[in-house]
Amino acid sequence: MQPTNSVLKKPPARVTVPSHAKLLVSRPEAAQLLSISVRGIDYLLATRRLPFRKIGGRVLISVAELRKYANGDHPERIVA
């Protein structure tokens, strides 16, 4: 039995990091940053035009790589 005067502990608050301070972002966040669809991101990942890391079951993309891709010249269409 717990004492009646015990203080109930709250779970720790989830840390939220602003998107400009993140090192890695998810596929939907990457799509939002590049102003394209998630399907477009999936195509870039599948064709290895955009490097990614898999941590656990999550696919994460480096913000630095997104910036490098965005600053590059891309005359071809993303999805055929």
Cα angle, residue 75 at apex, residues 69 and 76 outer, rounded to 5°: 90
What's residue 78's pLDDT?
63
Give per-residue pLDDT as tens, 60-73. Answer: 999 999 999 999 88
What's residue 79's pLDDT?
60
What's residue 4's pLDDT?
57
Tokens encoding 4:
């009646």
Distances (CA, A) of 49 to 23, 55, 62, 66: 19, 19, 13, 10
**3-state SS class at 35:** coil
Write down the pTM of the prediction. 0.71
- Domains belonging to the chain, first-starting first, are 23-71 (1.10.10)
Tokens encoding 16:
């939220």
